[in-house]
Amino acid sequence: MREVVFDTETTGIQVSEGHRMVEIGCVELINRVESGREFHAYFNPERSMPPEAQAVHGLSEAFLSGQRLFRDCCEELLDFIEDSPLVAHNAAFDFAFLNFELGEAGRLHIPRSRMVDTLALSRSKHPGAKHSLDAMCTRYGVDRSHRIKHGALLDAQLLAQCYVELTGGRQIGLSLADAPAAAEAARQDAIVYDITRPIRPARPHAASAEELERHARFLAQITDPVWTMGTAAPAAG
């Protein structure tokens, strides 16, 4: 099974406010193992770079002005991601920017059914814990000492390692006969579908009086049960 873990850097946090994507990094996973194939590109956003955004990723307006426009290299990106599931941390953010850029380039949006959100998965698996990429790296022992600033490719590489641990560990990818089935099952657990699910009350699961009576009759038929050994009163001397 093929998946693509990706991350983006942008000029801000809202597409609706005119912000643009300036970097994307992608890492290919085959049966939860990094294949070594990656895609990385910077983009000229054709707008200024706010200082607060530059402080996060270090990409200046001067540097980006010499990069290609997204529409000039989006085919390379689409060729890389193919029709694979796309894994991202807080995936709705990255999908919003990616789909905006694709729309501006006259390409179809990527459906949310392909989105796997590691933030949602981490919240489900570790309720009450911290869920930033740094926190996940610490939790799973992923070395992030070289992460001085955010970078799309570096963050995708780190996230790929965390995602493997988050969905069962590297034994998923190393299993021989069951690898595809196990990996697909883990991926299904991680997919965030664009559906609102109703909250249902817990189903009653206590034993009935009849079931308790049958259980007691069954236990009474057992001679010298192990759970009574050593509990009998000592004989009088």
Domain assignment of residue 73, yes or no: yes
- Tell me if 155 is assigned to a ligand binding site: yes
pLDDT of residue 174: 47
What per-residue confidence (pLDDT) applies to 184? 55
User: What is the pLDDT, as a whole number, of residue 218?
Assistant: 84
Confidence of residue 138 (pLDDT cuts 50, 70, 90): very high
Structure-block tokens of residue 98: 């990616």
| Residue 90 forms part of a structural domain | yes
Is there a catalytic annotation at residue 150? yes
pTM above the 0.75 mark?
no
Q: Let me know: does 133 contact 89? Beta carbons within 8 Å.
A: yes
Structure tokens at 125: 């698996």
- Asked if residue 87 has pLDDT above 90, the reply is yes
Has residue 212 been placed in a domain?
no
| 41 membership: H or E segment, kind and range | strand 33-42
Mean of the pLDDT values across residues 117-129?
Answer: 96
Determine which one of 131, 150, 205, 215 is catalytic: 150
* Residue 7 assigned to a binding site: yes
CA separation for the pair 206, 8 (Å, rounded): 49
Domain containing residue 140: 2-190
* pLDDT recorded at residue 89: 97
CATH code of the domain covering residue 157: 3.30.420.10
| pLDDT, position 2 | 97
Helix spans in 50-204 (H) = 51-57, 61-64, 70-81, 91-104, 118-125, 133-140, 152-166, 171-174, 179-190
Q: Is the pLDDT of residue 4 over 90?
A: yes
> What's the domain count of the chain?
1
Is 202 within the bounds of a domain? Answer: no
52 is in an annotated binding site: yes
The single-letter code of the amino acid at 94 is D
CA 26 to chain centre: 14
Structure tokens belonging to residue 231: 């509990």
Counting Cβ atoms within 10 Å, is residue 125 exposed (0-12), middle (13-18) or buried (19+)?
Answer: middle
- Read off the pLDDT of residues 65-80 as tens digits, 9 standing for 90 and up: 999 999 999 999 999 9
**18 in a domain, yes or no?**
yes
* Number of other residues whose CB lies within 10 A of the CB of residue 2: 15
| CA distance linking residue 118 with residue 124, whole number of Å | 10
* In-domain check, residue 203: no
End-to-end CA distance of the chain: 73
pLDDT for position 25: 98
Q: Is residue 156 part of a domain?
A: yes
Torsional class of 54: left (φ above 0), alpha (ψ -120 to 50), beta (otherwise): alpha
Among 19-33, 105-119, 201-215, where is mean pLDDT lowest?
Answer: 201-215
